[in-house]
Structures are given as C-alpha cells and as structure tokens.
Structure 1
Amino acid sequence: MAHVVLAGGGTAGHTSPLIATAERIARADASGSVVAVGTPKGLETTVVPAAGLRLELIPPVPLPRSLTVDLLKVPWRLVDSVRQARRILSREKADVAVGFGGYVSLPVYLAARTMGVPVVIHEQNALPGLANKVAARFARLVAVSFPDTPLPGAQYLGLPLRSSIAELDVEARRGEARVGFGLDADRPTLLVSGGSQGAQSINTATLGARAELLAAGIQILHVLGPKNISDADVVVTDDTTGARYVPLGYVDAMEDAYAAADLMVGRSGAGTVMETAAVGLPVVFVPLPHGNGEQARNATFLVDGGAALLIDNADFDAVRMAREVRALFDDPERLPAMRRASRDLVPPDAAGALAERVLAIAGSTNAGSARPRRS
C-alpha cells in the first residue's frame, strides 16, 4: 500500500500527465492513497477534482522575470509554501513525491527533500522548466517526454496520456467521430486546433485557406478556442464538392477530434505533440513564437523522423497553409507513411511505465531502505 503525493498545476501541460499518472497508480494499487497538490490560481482547481482526485492547495511562488519588488518577496513566499507542503506530506504519510513542474512543484520538491521523502520528476517539454532543473539534482527518478531533454539522469518514458488517448483505436472510431461532428464519414478531413485557448494566426490562415481547401474536397474541423468563436463562425459547405467547414469553440473529448482527422494543423505544445504522435496523427506544427523556443524544440524529433512538418509562425499564412495541406492530401503515400512513422517514435504507455516506477520507489520506502521519515 503506497502513499503518493503528486504536484503539478497551472496549465493542462502539467495537470494532464498528473491525472493520467494518478489514474494508473490508483489502478495498480487500489489500497493505496493518491493526493494531488496545486495552487488556488491554476487549472487544477477544476480538472483535478473532476477526475476524481483529492486536491490540496498551497500558495503559488511565481518567479518574476525582472528585478522588481515581487522578486524580493520570493524567498519568504517560498518558505511559507514549503512549510505548507511539508504539512501535507507529513499528514499523507507520503512514501514518494511526484512532480510535473509548474509553480507548485518546487515547494513540494524542497519539502520532500528536507523530510527525506524520495522525489520523482516528470518533465513535459523538450526544454525543462526551473522547478524540474532544480529537483533533477536530487530526484530518485527523472522521467522525460522527449528523447533529448537536457536533464541529468533523464529517462525517456514519454508523456503520460489519458487512457482515452493512449488506447484510442483510430480506425474503429473514425467514421462515428466524423459524423458526431457533423462531417462526412468518408471524406478527407483536416483538424485545425491552436490548443485549449486557440491561436489567432492559425485561425486567420484557416479562414483564408478555407475556400480553396473545401473546393479541393477537404472537409475542415476547426477548433478556434472558446474566446475566439463568435456568431459569425458558422458551418460553410462548398456548393460543388459538398465539403464542409465546421467551427467549434472547444472540444471536450480531443480523442474524437484526433480520430476524425487525417491531418492536423496546430501548435506544438508538449501535450499536442505527444498525443498526436501516440495516435499516429500527422501534423503541420506552427510553434508558438514566444517563450524560450520550447514549442519548436518539442516537435523536432517528429519532424526529423518524417512524422510531421514544422512552419514558423511568421511564415504561416493562408497561401502557405493551403499549399502544404493540399500537397499532403494529394500524395496518396505521404500521410500513411507519416502515420506509421509517428507511432514508432514514441514509447508506448508512458503513464503505466511511470506509475510502475513510482510504486517501486514507494515500495522501497515502505521497506525501510530509503530514509528515516522526519516531520
């Protein structure tokens, strides 16, 4: 019986693998306990309880990118968050602390370190965040989603995915998924999605390329993002080919959208990259042009492996989109080859592999081989 505390939050990039791993831990050790730690400001306050997991909250410790008064407050905020994280670990009798990055993870890592609780980290991005860079120096296990993530002792396990994604039977689901979105069951299908919030540049290019793609007989499922859709976004059908453009603000079950599609155009966040690779969906990635370049880095191994294309955001417009998408659909061998390559490039069942290792570390703690517990 293992007592596992998992930390991660802020965005879906942290919460989704946490939930997927927690589900597999609970399935493998039904008599144990699993609790998640997040902050009051993150996505975890809704998605973690919705997944049936118990959630404990501690204050976030954001790190300002410039020298401001807030930067001077970081040590005091961190001390307070570590103190609260220690209370949670002690109360839960934690055998292992598992972190997925984000503001909440560093206090939990440091609390576990001071208590002798073994730490496991999982890094979602090809370029690691600060919390995981710190914890990698003392973690018992450093698991990564991408094969070239620069962390000491990194083990390439892949990204833990929900079972609905990891176990998706695309061929069996395709026709039903298309019909469910109001599409033709047998027509070539393009999925466009800029992530949970949408992407304005991709949306603009799609609207500009829409007429040409529909005229070519390619139907389009366009997920614009909940803040980007309006009454002006309506279903459009080409009078000649009958191909249909279907706009949506958000899709709750992305596995259905993946199953419906032959090709996707979208951002290259870690979740999107690994989910599409796992289900074998070819993608034209248009990385977010901000941050430290992690989105472009995320997609590199798929591009190098022949499973995806990558176009800079600055170069992506309606003309480029129509040309690239039509070229892929016009080549009868290209998309099947990309689909096969994609599936061969990612480890199977990352959530199960990570859960197995976490429970093994928890088991060694229970056996008394890891450390004396300090409160």
Structure 2
Amino acid sequence: MSQPVPGGEKAAAAAAPTVVVAGGGTAGHIEPALALADAVKRLRPDARVVALGTERGLENRLVPARGYPLELIPPVPLPRKPTAELLRLPLKVRDAVRRTREVLDRVGADVVVGFGGYVALPAYLAARGRVPIVVHEANKHAGLANKVGARFAKKVAVAVPGTTLPGADVVGIPLRRSITALDRAALRVEAREHFGLDPDAPTLLVFGGSQGARSINTAVSGAAKEFADAGVGVLHAHGPKNTVAVREYPGRPAYVPVPYLERMDLAYATADMVLCRSGAMTVAEVSAVGLPSVFVPLPHGNGEQALNAEPAVDAGAALLVPDAELTPEKVAELVLPLVTDPERLAKMSAAAVALGHREADEVLAKLVLEAGGHGTSR
C-alpha cells in the first residue's frame, strides 16, 4: 500500500489526474478495470491510476503484475438482489467506507470508476458527494453494487443495450490491447509451437473460466478419440484444481491439457474455434478476436451468461448448448462438423468481429477523464 506524501499527492502533481478503479474479486471485474487503466495512461501519460481491492481477490496477483498500485480495503459481500441480508452488514459497510474514504483522500482521487462487485460498493459510498463517480456494468442485468452506484454517478456506461441503469451510454467492455489488436493468423505458428499443437490441423480451444468447469472438462475430454480420428487438435484449459487425462494417439494432432492460460493472446491465436463459458468478458474477447464459438452458459445464478451469449448466437457467430445437455456425444456431434468446415468458420468469424467494441477502453477512458475534470493529451 502507498504511503502518505506531505502536502498531499495531488499537490505534487496539480495537473495530473488521479483515477481510482474499483474492480476487485473476479477476473470479470478486474480485467476491464485494468484495460481502462491502460487506456487512461495512453491518453494521459501523466495520470496516476490506483486500484482498490481486498486481501482475498485475484487483484492481489493481477494488479501488481500490470504495474499499478493496489490499496486494500475490507470486503463487503453482497447479495445479488436487495434483501435483508444487506441490512445485517452495516458495521462492515461502515468500516469499509471509512477505510476507502481514507484512501481516496490520501491519493487525491479525481474520479472513481466502479465495475461492480464487493469492492465497488464501498467505493461508491465513500466517493458519494466528494468525488465524481463513473459506473461500468458488463452484464445486461446489473448487480446490486452498480444499481446503488448508478443512483449518484456522474456517468454510467454499459456493455450492451437494454440494461435498466438510467442514462447509460453503451460503450462495450474495455479489453486489453493484446486482445483487440491480436492478429491470430500472424501469431498462429508461434502460438501452436508454444503449446505443442499441430501447426496445420483444425484446432479447438476449450476453457471454463479461471477455475475451469467440470462439465466442460468431462464432455470434451470424453470425445478425445473422436477429435483424434477427425484430425482435430485441442488446447484445453481445465482449471488449476482440476485434471484432465486423455490418451495419446501417435501420428494424430495433439490434445493438450493445461491448468491455466497465462497467455490468452497465444491461446486465441492457436484456435479455429472455441468452446467455453459465456461470461461477459469472455464473450467480448472471443468476439473481438473473431473466434467462432460454442457457448455453454454457467447453469447457476440469474441466467446472465445465457443473456451474454444471445447477441453472438443471434448474429450467427456462435452456438449455445445448455450445460445439462453437454455430453461427449453432443461435443462430437456438434463441434466436429463445425471445426472442420473452413467456409462456415469464416462466416461465423466475420459475424463475431462485427459484434465487437474494439475501442471500448479508450471510449470509457475519455468519459472517465472528462467526469474527473480532465481532458486527454491527444
């Protein structure tokens, strides 16, 4: 955590904006916040970006790795809807708001940007009436934190049309430039060599989120022989706590299981199509890089993953398979004819690219800087 500077950090750099991003907890909250941070720094190299997080979130690994300071505040677990459960947390909320307010004062925050979740709520409450607030909502159904923050935000940005947040600008989801600028064809040879994949075979990328997905692991690995027989390679991220055992078939394209994909750009570059969950970030990324997709929405929650997949499915860029219907037989029946059909893959890829908001990071960054009373340097 950063230390106080005599006279205040803002006094040391009067014209330089300080942007505080609140997107801790899951990668779906953290990655858009970091993509925004990168865009802010491109537009205003003199800007300072500080991230809020908690001791238990992925931000403790992801934020420092991207070179941004991380300030830790107490977590405030949130119900998905306004319930009596929230009323039982007044002391935790009050403590988190007090600690967050101390951070905002110390770093001299000019604007607070929240991406939802249990880090965003105390950020919104601490900034209310003191620091301009910008809310970004990635899902069609906004979570409780963003519903609260939108009530007193200066600007509200959303990823897709049709959310219930008032006065929202549709900007898409901020993505890393390593994704939005990815040339899959140019990187293909390097990417397949990196993962030990056949350089020429049709290749399927499989993942189920940062922790993996058991149903996806079982169904896809269960069709390993069918992939081998069809001459299809597979790169399968099964999650760090899971394992996938598949038989090797000499002379046929490799089935490569890995716990986690550190280089998503290379993973995307290996693939002709992808089978994965349909979190908002995932749908945005695979659309941006033009990958035909088979989405298997998470069967829990409020159905938001199925909603995330709808635009891609409607546009002809993706297929949707309910989790309960995903079996090795379904994978072989649905995926094999598709991944080995270059003409259909090309049409789906073009449809995917047309869905993307590749400039969402800079569009949101400009909105944030303006909300904080600062322009851009270009």
Instruction: Note closer, same or farther for the CA distance 1:154–1:72 as it changes in structure 2 (3 Å cut).
Output: closer
Residue in 1 that maps onto 2:293: 283
Query: What is the CA-CA distance between 1:295 and the residue it aligns to?
Result: 0.8
Residue in 2 that maps onto 1:55: 70
Query: What is the CA-CA distance between 1:85 and the residue it aligns to?
Result: 1.4
Residue in 1 that maps onto 2:8: none
1:237 aligns with 2:249: yes
Instruction: Note closer, same or farther for the CA distance 1:198–1:238 as it changes in structure 2 (3 Å cut).
Output: same
Instruction: Note closer, same or farther for the CA distance 1:212–1:37 as it changes in structure 2 (3 Å cut).
Output: same
User: What is the identity, as a one-letter code, of the residue corresponding to 1:3?
Assistant: T
Q: State the distance in 1 between where 2:85 and 2:42 align.
A: 42
Instruction: Note closer, same or farther for the CA distance 1:71–1:138 as it changes in structure 2 (3 Å cut).
Output: closer
Query: What is the CA-CA distance between 1:330 and the residue it aligns to?
Result: 4.2
Whether the aligned pair in 2 keeps the contact of 1:13 and 1:271 (CA below 8 Å) is: yes
Q: State the distance in 2 between where 1:184 and 1:85 align.
A: 50
User: What is the identity, as a one-letter code, of the residue corresponding to 2:248?
Assistant: V
Residue in 1 that maps onto 2:153: 139
Instruction: Note closer, same or farther for the CA distance 1:314–1:6 as it changes in structure 2 (3 Å cut).
Output: same
TM-score, scaled relative to structure 2 = 0.91
The correspondence for 1:335, drawn from 341, 345, 351, is 345
Whether the aligned pair in 2 keeps the contact of 1:214 and 1:238 (CA below 8 Å) is: no
- Matched residue of 1:49: which SS? helix
1:40 aligns with 2:50: no
Residue in 2 that maps onto 1:372: none
User: What is the identity, as a one-letter code, of the residue corresponding to 1:21?
Assistant: L
The correspondence for 2:284, drawn from 274, 277, 285, is 274
- Matched residue of 2:222: which SS? helix
1:82 aligns with 2:76: no
Residue in 1 that maps onto 2:329: 319
Residue in 1 that maps onto 2:32: 17
Q: State the distance in 1 between where 2:158 and 2:81 align.
A: 29
Q: State the distance in 2 between where 1:352 and 1:235 align.
A: 46
Q: State the distance in 2 between where 1:264 and 1:188 align.
A: 11
Whether the aligned pair in 2 keeps the contact of 1:177 and 1:260 (CA below 8 Å) is: yes
Residue in 2 that maps onto 1:166: 180
Whether the aligned pair in 1 keeps the contact of 2:202 and 2:231 (CA below 8 Å) is: yes
Residue in 2 that maps onto 1:360: 370
Q: State the distance in 2 between where 1:168 and 1:67 align.
A: 40
How do residues 194-205 of structure 1 correspond to structure 2 at under 5 angstroms?
Answer: 194-205=208-219
Give the root-mean-square deviation of aligned CA atoms. Answer: 2.0
Query: What is the CA-CA distance between 1:286 and the residue it aligns to?
Result: 0.4
TM-score, scaled relative to structure 1 = 0.91
Instruction: Note closer, same or farther for the CA distance 1:329–1:123 as it changes in structure 2 (3 Å cut).
Output: same
- Matched residue of 2:153: which SS? coil
Unaligned runs of 5+ in 2: 1-15
Deviations, residues 16-49 of structure 1 (Å, cap 9, x unaligned): 1111111111222122221111111111112111
Whether the aligned pair in 1 keeps the contact of 2:17 and 2:374 (CA below 8 Å) is: no
How do residues 172-321 of structure 1 correspond to structure 2 at under 5 angstroms?
Answer: 172-229=186-243, 233=245, 236-237=248-249, 239=251, 242-321=252-331
Residue in 1 that maps onto 2:44: 29
Count matched residues.
360
Q: State the distance in 1 between where 2:233 and 2:256 align.
A: 8
Deviations, residues 209-244 of structure 1 (Å, cap 9, x unaligned): 1111210111111111111126xx3672355xx222
1:99 aligns with 2:111: no
Unaligned runs of 5+ in 1: 366-375
Query: What is the CA-CA distance between 1:4 and the residue it aligns to?
Result: 0.9
